[in-house]
Structure 1
Amino acid sequence: MKTTASSAHLQLTANQRRVELARPWVLAALYVGLALAGWWWLAVPVAVAVCLAAFVQMHDAMHNALGLPKPINERILTLSALLILKSGHAMQVTHLRHHGRCLTEDDPEGAPATWQFSRVLWQGPWHILMLRRESLRIAPNTRRIQLLETAFTVVLLVAFVALYFLTGSLVGIIYWGVAFLMSATMPVWASYIPHHVASRNPAARAAAAVAQVWTPVVSSFAFHHVHHHYPRVPTALLHRAAAELPPPPEEDHH
């Protein structure tokens, strides 16, 4: 894991930062509007997009890559994770461990990348829950914020259920279901696939070619190896890092 002077110029402009900060929240508002209108065929895919955008924002906040003052970055980490019903600080603990000890026995987040694919499918949902326990073990000094964020998540779930029973609205329940599905499959799309698809793979090359269409989703897949080498580069600028910085050795994260 390296943050070098050569990557220091790859920082978000003020306008880019506004886009990166607004994206998941604009999509969340769009989801609510579509859901309230009963257009579920559009609302559900938008809910998936909300989760992906929130994941990327949370991930950039984990690495302090958004160019924000630390107190604001900490709040963004908490709030973006809530959009996918997670504790941002808990995920930060295991993610930074992943970068420091990538795919070793002491890398709980990266463990699915070392499993058979069939195991990732059936054990993945339990693995996500296990990471909560591991984050408390690795960083007991963050126990308070982790538990507080977990409490916020519980409050959100209770609110979704209450909304349904009080008004009959499925807006919260459906979103919960989508967020749960994205969470349950996270070991597949956020761990196994990125660590098994080399940058020279045709799928990765195709993703790299269109990385600027919707950078957060495509770049995180196409330039995963670049991110591991230059973690302070925002996801939105990984395509530039891949073009401008010395290419990292892929064996570092496979």
Structure 2
Amino acid sequence: MTHQEIIRKVEWKDLKNLSFKEMLIENNLTIPWFLISLTLAYFGYYILALPFSAFFFLTGLRQVHNGFHNSLGTNKFLTWLSLYINSILMMTSIHAVKFNHIRHHKYCLTDEDYEGKSAGMTWYGAILYGPIHMFLIHKVTLQIGSNSYRRNVILEIISIAVFAAAVFYFKIDFLIYHIIVMVIGEFLMAFFAVWTVHHDTHDSPELARTQRSGWKNKITFSMFYHLEHHLFPAVPTIKLPELVKRIDKALPEIEKKNTF
């Protein structure tokens, strides 16, 4: 069954719309994790801060990912602002990530898909590839991205550099902790955001892996409904549990490879 045939069999367009409450959730999900992690780090409780930093990183990914697909329920400027602010807080140019992610959907797991390169590696190879992955997505965007993408990437890189320089110059320990943890998170993206959801799917790239365990989806904020996301990228993350029900009802025979 082709991607277009799947789309025709599932009712999904109504799921693109967010209520006011859902819009507030999608745009503010990162805040409590960010504030708690920094508060704990400020008082020197770095080990206790780690899980909150991890959840900030995860919810940040969810927020910018929805922004990539214009699924935050906000206007163009506020969506851009969300990507820009998260670039500084997450220590990478989110517009560079966006450029490669949109290409990932268009050229999934082909030679043109720079984001998906680690999908064909071993799990440990994907981890070791992480720093190269982050360098490559910035390089590719600056080389072949539009003028708008290049301007945004340069602005974000400069802003990150200024922020990091100020933090290290003034020796702000809790922010140094935050920067180090975020950089480690970015270096693990080739494994967590690519390999886990795409390994061994090259025969049918549009059928990414997914996660059907309720508690696992709760602790990962629905970020591993990747099969569903690739089939219907315009559906916001908060609507994916409902999309899952519709897909399973309309297409019970569709292959579902577990993420973890």
State the TM-score, normalizing by the size of structure 1: 0.85
Contact 2:100–2:115 (CA under 8 A) maintained in structure 1: yes
3-state SS of 1:182 partner: helix
Number of matched pairs? 242
Mapped to 2, the partners of 1:67 and 1:205 lie a distance apart of: 26
Unpaired stretches in structure 2, ≥5 consecutive residues? 202-206
For the pair 1:67 / 2:73, whether they are aligned, the reply is yes
For the pair 1:151 / 2:158, whether they are aligned, the reply is yes
Mapped to 1, the partners of 2:104 and 2:75 lie a distance apart of: 24
Could you tell me which residue of structure 1 aligns to residue 177 of structure 2?
A: 174
For the pair 1:194 / 2:197, whether they are aligned, the reply is yes
| RMSD, aligned CA | 2.7
Give the direction of change, closer, same or farther, for the CA distance of 1:68–1:249 in structure 2 (3 Å limit): farther
Contact 1:54–1:80 (CA under 8 A) maintained in structure 2: yes
Cα drift, residue 152 of structure 1:
0.9
Cα drift, residue 22 of structure 1:
1.2
Cα drift, residue 68 of structure 1:
1.2
Contact 2:37–2:53 (CA under 8 A) maintained in structure 1: yes
4+ runs of 1 displaced by more than 6 Å? 1-5, 197-201
Could you tell me which residue of structure 1 aligns to residue 146 of structure 2?
A: 140
State the TM-score, normalizing by the size of structure 2: 0.84
Instruction: Encode CA deviations 1:216-241: one digit per residue, 9 max, x unaligned.
Output: x24211x1010001101111221111
Mapped to 1, the partners of 2:116 and 2:223 lie a distance apart of: 16
Cα drift, residue 91 of structure 1:
1.0
Name the amino acid aligned to 1:154.
A
Contact 1:31–1:46 (CA under 8 A) maintained in structure 2: yes
Contact 2:100–2:137 (CA under 8 A) maintained in structure 1: yes
Contact 2:167–2:176 (CA under 8 A) maintained in structure 1: yes
Unpaired stretches in structure 1, ≥5 consecutive residues? none
